[in-house]
Structure 1
């Protein structure tokens, strides 16, 4: 899947979504929410997160914020951790393509990530995007 395909899917399947671009990264937010996206696409490393080595040509990472129950189900057998950057030193290879993983920095807040997602993960990613969007809509009401 490409960044354009993911963006088109989100914009055509979820109402009132705003996309903010910063430094080549995309932040998908519901309605007037300006601080907390429900999904992001990150295209390069930064001073806070280089775990996926996104400065490689053609690499990006889709990040999705879900709920605790979905996170626990998705990563059955992976211990829940606390704190920013909690999964960085967990032994997970965050450079691996097309594998859903806890987010290296925000996993403790139930964010997941996938580097260069493939179409074979599309149904699962759609389910996670549904959850993330629903949580945001509920929080905004």
Structure 2
């Protein structure tokens, strides 16, 4: 699958998703070219509340996130923030935060294509990822995206309820 197909699937499947693709000058330069999927049906979330439930990244992030070697031609990573329960069902307990290498220690090859695995940096927060998923692998990714979306909807619902008198 290519990036455009994945972006279209998420935008068309999940209601109220704001697909954010920062352009030069709109966001920190490091985010330009990446895609962020945010549940914001009314497009009224304050910037600090605009947390994505999934992202599609196309490049390494300096010393912070290099474990996937995304600077290879044509390589991208779909990142998905799933529930703790979903993460544990897939991989067991969340790992400790990244050490000196900048990546979590899970035994996964974070450069491998077409494999669902813990996110190399954000696995402790229950994020998973896949580099260049095939159609078959994307079938397994669909319920993970639904899980992440449901979490985002729940956060939005709770935030609105907290603001109402």
TM-score by length of 2: 0.79
Q: Deviations over 1:12-46 (max 9, x none)?
A: 10111111123111000001444310000010001
List structure 1 segments (4+ residues) > 4 angstroms apart after TM superposition: 84-87
Conservation of the 8 A alpha-carbon contact between 2:83 and 2:148:
yes
Deviation at 1:121, TM superposition (A): 1.1
SS of residue in 1 equivalent to 2:79 = strand
Larger Rg: 2
Larger fraction in strand:
1
Conservation of the 8 A alpha-carbon contact between 1:65 and 1:110:
yes
Give 2:37's aligned residue: 28
May I ask how many residue pairs the two structures share in their alignment?
A: 139
Alpha-carbon distance between aligned partners in 2 of 1:90 and 1:137, rounded to the nearest angstrom: 29
Q: How do residues 1-141 of structure 1 correspond to structure 2 at under 5 angstroms?
A: 1-21=1-21, 22-31=31-40, 32=43, 33=45, 34=47, 35-47=50-62, 48-76=64-92, 79-83=93-97, 87-141=103-157
SS of residue in 1 equivalent to 2:145 = helix
Larger fraction in helix:
2
Conservation of the 8 A alpha-carbon contact between 1:99 and 1:117:
yes
Gap runs ≥5 in structure 2: 22-30, 158-165
